[in-house]
Amino acid sequence: MTEDEPAPFTTPKPVAFKKGVVNGTVYAENGVKTIGGAIIFTFDDNHKIHMTTSGADGKFHLEAPAGNRIIHIQTGDGSNFRTEIPLVVVNNETHTLPASVSKLNQIANMAYVKGSYDEIEDIVIGLGYTVSQISYDDLKNMSTIAAYDVIFLNCGSRTQGNSGTATPNNDTMIYDNLATFVTNGGSLYASDWDVAYLLGGNSNTNACNTAGGFIPDALLCSTNTGPSTTFTNCTVANAGLAGALGFTSLDIQYDLGSWQRIINYDATFWDVLVSHSSEPLMIRTNKFQQPTAPQMAVGNSANSGFVTICHDDNGTSATITISQSDLQAHLGHGDTVGPCATSTNSGNIYYTTFHNHASGNIGNTGPILQYVILNL
């Protein structure tokens, strides 16, 4: 080769990505119940996410960049339940997390209103988490409910025996407060008769377009016309829920004399989680927004140093909660504040026609209700 001849071109060898493997099982706080559908993730030095999801058995396998990392475990959007695990990831090594560190931590302050036919608090406590009882009258006080991230409205809480009034539909300040709570990021669970908090009515809702509530009538109608029966071959209609559960169909027993059927709903507002034929049995939304609601902080102050974002990874998005100190770096490469699925920062509303039975025999609806608790 002479001086005038160009040097031969050689293709540069790609730099090998140094990584290790992190294995483990996600558990509830009780250390027994495994959690499917949790997301497990970490970031490399350039804030690129490395993520996986726990299977129905709670097990996960994460390929993580070598170095000092934080392994995040989250359900829902990560604001109510999350765990951070510092870990030195060694290149070409497998790290197995002990069960004692891969438990899902409760961040949320949670409360329930006592009902007559539903005791969701028993499931919460059974998972090893804490939930406080508040009264029907507490719902009239915005400063009281603003202390919570999640409120469970148990079926039957509006009966005179539990609410202290035969006409709870006259307590319109409760509707205003719940609308404000959700608009500012609080999440609600309502079961069966307690759809009346959403749509109006006294102990339950008897007809479409009933006065009261805070959900517009065009978005949902429910009537107290469900018979005592067992629905066979109900469908888990949401892919994320089905993956977390490990099953796609189940039988659901309705053992009370009447329950609130969903007559119609707006499919652009509600996601159907469980159905029987074409009839929704459990629905969810994070799209409610009351424009006239005052802005205020709700929930646990432990979240004040964290922010929920939509993380974009080359077109694949994920809703996660990160430390506020990391936010600017994420915004710098295109992430946005707030969840991916909506333009609002509203909380979730879950409505379920089924719940804890009077007999206590809830079968495969139990894992579904556990999922709801961890994903509110």
Residues 172 and 142 grouped into a single domain:
yes
Burial environment of residue 266 by CB neighbours within 10 A (0 to 12, 13 to 18, 19 or more): middle
Q: What is the pLDDT of residue 178?
A: 99
Residue 151 lies in a domain: yes
Give the rounded percent of residues in the chain with a pLDDT score beyond 70.
94
Residue 102 lies in a domain: no
Residue 144 lies in a domain: yes
Residues 86 and 131 grouped into a single domain:
no
The domain that holds 117 is classified in CATH as 3.40.50.880
The domain that holds 84 is classified in CATH as 2.60.40.10
pLDDT tens digits for 168-198? 999 999 999 999 999 999 999 999 999 999 9
CA distance 72 to 77: 12
236, 243, 251, 276, 358 from 248: Cα distances, Å: 5, 8, 11, 12, 25
pLDDT, the chain, mean: 92
Those residues with Cβ within 8 angstroms of residue 198's Cβ, 6 or more apart along the chain or in another chain: 190, 213, 214, 215, 220, 349, 351
Residues 167 and 270 grouped into a single domain:
yes
Select from 59, 90, 121 the last residue of a domain: 90
Residues 120 and 242 grouped into a single domain:
yes
pLDDT tens digits for 47-65? 889 999 999 999 999 999 9
CA distance 114 to 256: 18
Give the CB-side neighbour count of residue 81, counting CA atoms within 13 A.
31
- Does residue 332 carry a pLDDT above 90? no
Residues 53 and 121 grouped into a single domain:
no
Residues 35 and 178 grouped into a single domain:
no
Residue 86 lies in a domain: yes
Residue 169 lies in a domain: yes
**Dihedral through CA 153, CA 156, CA 162, CA 167, nearest 10?**
100
Radius of gyration over every alpha carbon of the chain, rounded to an integer in angstroms:
23
- What range defines the domain where residue 368 resides? 110-289+344-375
CA distance 264 to 231: 19
Domain total of the chain:
2
The region of weakest confidence among 29-43, 228-242, 256-270, 304-318 is 304-318
Select from 56, 90, 124 the last residue of a domain: 90
Residues 149 and 86 grouped into a single domain:
no
Residue 202 lies in a domain: yes
Select from 90, 121, 145 the last residue of a domain: 90
Q: What is the pLDDT of residue 358?
A: 52
Give residue 12's pLDDT band: very low, low, confident or very high (50, 70, 90).
low
Which residue in this structure is represented by tokens 């009077």? 358
- Does residue 5 carry a pLDDT above 90? no
Residues 37 and 119 grouped into a single domain:
no
Residues 137 and 284 grouped into a single domain:
yes
Q: What does the block give as tokens for 65?
A: 């960049």
Residues 76 and 154 grouped into a single domain:
no
**Residue 186 β-bridge partners:** none
The region of weakest confidence among 124-133, 134-143, 149-158, 326-335 is 326-335
Give the DSSP letter string of 118-155. --HHHHHHHTT---EEE-TGGGG-HHHHTT-SEEEE-T
DSSP 179: H
Q: What does the block give as tokens for 150?
A: 């999640």
Residue 171 lies in a domain: yes
Residue 371 lies in a domain: yes
Residues 49 and 194 grouped into a single domain:
no
How much is the average pLDDT of 80-97?
97
Q: Is 307 helix (H, G, I), strand (E, B) or coil?
A: strand
- SS3 letters for 187-233? EEEEEHHHHHHHHCCCCCCCCCCCCCCCCCHHHEEEEEEECCEEEEE
**What is the pTM assigned to this prediction?**
0.93
Give residue 90's pLDDT band: very low, low, confident or very high (50, 70, 90).
very high
Give residue 301's pLDDT band: very low, low, confident or very high (50, 70, 90).
confident
Q: What is the pLDDT of residue 3?
A: 52
Residues 128 and 211 grouped into a single domain:
yes
